[in-house]
Chains A and B, each alone.
Chain A
């Protein structure tokens, strides 16, 4: 819109000029004097040539304009005019460019009165302004480097007297891939100075509005390198360059400005550059004396083998002898691993790190630093079989995490190792077996009372269901699932029956026997009465063959007996009994599996049978007992008399009878 209006303005001015020729001065009139090569004028006391080549002017972009269109102060004046003319205001027409220029480094320098500051004419010329498309124009692609180079090449007053952070700019550019393309191969699409720095909005890179500011550099480069993300895909998500430019290495961190080559690592901040110092084993930090030695092998064998040092150790500045001296922050893995970084920040570990708690583990505690490996690499600390050991470093009893933990899980590492998961992983080497991170997640580790935790009671079925999907399906239809069993009471979740770290095979004897006391934690009465029956008594003896809770009620698909789907519904109960008692009938199923003889209301027959039997028992014992006790004194008396009698008889018979006495003595003794 702006451009259109500008064109309209140009046309209007031209027309006005054409028409005004009748009214005001014609160009011809100007050339009467200015067409003479010898004509001179005065400016600020100096004599200057005022010749204007009419032909060149006519061929210029402004050829159709009247002289007074630019030299507006001459309008309506008597000719020939006075010596001093006002400076031509290009902005009258080129207002946008002028505004840009005014805000730019160059414009500000002009405002400061810097004599070295370039004005429009310094780049575009005077009366011979030609379009940039004209190869001969000083602002034509091929000419720009030289145009800028007039000031920005080694040895010029600008490079000597002004602070420019880059050196050998023109030289470096001409050797760069951009310069080579433009200057040697004549590729006019290759970028020149203004492509990156812009023509009029030239600003220092420290200015956020600058096209070469860290924040904008990616956008600038991608003007041409539109698909560059695809090349860097393995390295980085392209959008992050612009979103997180403050963290990520900018294009120029690797691809040196003005020295851009196809490959960056042989130049500037390549790993080799870093290793010049960091391959020294004795290299230590000046601050805290920690080793700064980096083994190249570590990185080359790592998951990050294709990542350059400076991509993680960002903030490096290649213009420094030690590019790393500008580093102020630690490596932030989240700059690439954004999602994981967010998860970690929300996790218990991340929260501790955020509080600067020395116990809080950072990425490197688990993943290592330069040696970082993928989780599928058996040598990686995060390979499935290595995870328990990794977590154990802090969570083993007595270690720092176990010490500050106040929950009810103890000896978790020892218990896990003995659990079915632990055995599957460590003994059978099944890498698909659940390890710490399968349940607790790797990066979103949270205490179980946190609703977002994977081990929060609400989430446990889903967590277990990630592997035990079929079971989760069943469980979600059972009365124990929160949506089915709508109750205020706390419903059981996987870990209530299976435990967390001591989880056993469900077909293990110990598990089968323990399950009854687990059901009994909530179903107290019904579990107690179960133990009054044959099934329960055998279980109590430690044998698993008789029916246990889940044999009749089902395990994960447990439903109230009133539900037709229940294993114990009227439709299913006989079949359930028949699982063990092949000949079971409906009458057989009438057996009271939870009967108690202590409840006269519910089971009167059993109650009275029991008390009938007990009365019989007590009666008999009382009768027998009293009879015996009454007998006792007489029996003792009898024994005494008998002994006396025998002794006397023996005396009379001695020594004839020998057989009987020993037996007698034996009995008395």
Chain B
């Protein structure tokens, strides 16, 4: 929304809006804050995953090498906890941003939580899901998705769930001496299992299902940089988020979200970052599969 006002100067007058012009400009999907938060989250998540998996799969050769790369288990531990703090920071920043937007844009929690652009699951998501399955099976057309599809919402809440489960058990292990003042020592064993397996779930899910849904889907392959640039091609927007497009067209607010694309150098930088994250992610998946299949104990 800030971006919209920011790029207002370059916006072409609505009268000149044609197919071609629209193609030149892009639809602004993510605010700058959300983009930054996503980038920081990637850094934090990758760090957590790498250092954590190093410990979880310590019986593999990879783990030993990674442990050394991180400068030993103590330094890896510091990185892990620093990244965890960062993750909590992201969470707090996001919640704060929601509170702010509630005040400025929505006016009430009800509008925010139950409006058409809400992240909460609603009836439409169920319809989309059923429609999608039908479409997959060739028994119907592709559903007309709104701003957030159900799988995007799933990813979003997976992070909420993950932060809650992994974060709380992580803090128990971090401050084990404090927690055992009022909790039994065995709880640490339980916390270890939950922390570790939930992390495995998060890592596994993000680096396979999430990567596919957003990057590896043939029509997006090899990656969708929208979450970094915040922009998506207008055509793509119309095709992928038809309901949102229609709603914006109807309300006349579409123009607000049309922005100039980033120069190629920025795009290239984003791609480098994206490739790095993808590579690390896939490597971790390969490592986990290797550890599970060949070295599990």
Contacts and interface: CB of A to CB of B under 8 A. Distances in A.
Nearest to B173: A534
B268 to A, nearest CB: 11
A379 interface: no
Which of A541, A588, A614, A636 has the most C-beta atoms of chain B within 10 angstroms of its own C-beta?
Answer: A541
A585 B177 contact: yes
B94 interface: no
A613 B180 contact: no
Contact of B213 (A597, A628, A638): A628
Given A614-B197, A667-B221, A541 B55 contact: yes
Interface stretch (B34-42, B79-87, B198-206): B198-206
A628 B212 contact: yes
Contact of A606 (B193, B208, B219): B193
Interface in B28-68: 54-56, 58-59, 63-64, 67-68
A531 B55 CA distance: 11
Interface of B: 20, 23-24, 54-56, 58-59, 63-64, 67-68, 72-74, 132-133, 135-137, 142, 151, 173, 176-178, 180-186, 188-190, 192-194, 197-198, 200-201, 204-205, 208-209, 212-213, 217-219, 221-222, 267, 297
A69 B256 CA distance: 167
A537 B173 CA distance: 15
Given A587-B181, A630-B137, A634-B136, A606 B58 contact: no
A543 B63 CA distance: 12
Contacts of B56: 537
Contact of B67 (A543, A546, A624, A663): A543
Contacts of B136: 630-631, 633-634
Contacts of B212: 628, 631
Which of A606, A624, A660 has the most C-beta atoms of chain B within 10 angstroms of its own C-beta?
Answer: A624
23 contacts: A531-B58, A536-B58, A537-B59, A538-B73, A540-B59, A542-B67, A543-B72, A581-B176, A588-B177, A595-B189, A605-B186, A606-B186, A613-B193, A613-B201, A614-B197, A620-B205, A621-B205, A624-B209, A625-B209, A628-B212, A633-B136, A635-B217, A667-B221
B67 A541 contact: yes
A584 B56 CA distance: 24
A587 B201 contact: no
Closest 8 CB pairs of A and B: A590-B185, A613-B197, A583-B177, A624-B209, A591-B185, A588-B180, A630-B136, A537-B58
A585 B181 contact: yes
Given A540-B59, A545-B74, A621-B205, A591 B177 contact: no
A29 to B, nearest CB: 128
A659 B263 CA distance: 11
Given A537-B55, A588-B185, A595-B189, A617 B197 contact: yes
Given A617-B204, A620-B205, A621-B205, A642 B219 contact: yes
B228 to A, nearest CB: 15
Contact of A590 (B24, B58, B186, B192): B186
Interface in A578-626: 581-585, 587-592, 595, 597, 603, 605-606, 609-610, 613-614, 616-617, 620-621, 624-625
A528 interface: yes
Contact of B184 (A587, A597, A632, A636): A587
Nearest to B213: A628
Contacts of B185: 587-592
Contact of B193 (A610, A620, A663): A610
Contact of B58 (A528, A540, A585): A540
A633 B197 CA distance: 31
A610 B197 contact: yes
Interface string A531-559: 10110111011110110000000000000
A536 B178 CA distance: 22
Contact of B176 (A541, A588, A592, A638): A588
B190 to A, nearest CB: 5
A243 interface: no
Contacts of B297: 528, 531
A585 B213 CA distance: 48
Nearest to B23: A660
A329 interface: no
Contacts of A631: 132, 136, 212, 217
A306 interface: no
A523 B101 CA distance: 60
Contacts of B184: 587, 590
A541 B132 CA distance: 46
Given A540-B59, A589-B185, A634 B135 contact: yes
A634 B133 CA distance: 11
A617 B200 contact: yes
A336 B10 CA distance: 113
B186 A624 contact: no
Contacts of A587: 180-185
A635 B151 contact: no
A627 interface: yes
Interface in A290-331: none
A597 B197 CA distance: 12
A353 B181 CA distance: 72
Nearest to A628: B212
A638 B220 CA distance: 10
Nearest to B74: A545
A540 B186 CA distance: 22
Contacts of B178: 583
A536 to B, nearest CB: 8
Contacts of A628: 208-209, 212-213
A233 to B, nearest CB: 66
Contacts of B58: 531, 536-538, 540-541
A639 interface: yes
B148 to A, nearest CB: 16
Contacts of A660: 23
A355 B185 CA distance: 67
Given A534-B55, A631-B136, 11 more contacts: A531-B59, A533-B189, A541-B55, A589-B185, A613-B201, A617-B200, A621-B204, A624-B209, A635-B217, A638-B218, A642-B219
A401 B256 CA distance: 92
A523 B267 CA distance: 58
A667 B133 CA distance: 27
Contact of B190 (A588, A605, A614): A605
A517 B188 CA distance: 25
A630 B133 CA distance: 8
B254 to A, nearest CB: 20
B218 A541 contact: no
A365 B169 CA distance: 70
B180 A585 contact: yes
A130 to B, nearest CB: 109
A512 B212 CA distance: 45
Interface in A619-669: 620-621, 624-625, 627-628, 630-636, 638-639, 642, 653, 657, 659-660, 663, 667
Nearest to B185: A590
A597 B73 CA distance: 24
B126 to A, nearest CB: 14
Contacts of A632: 218
A584 B54 CA distance: 26
Contact of A609 (B181, B190, B209, B267): B190
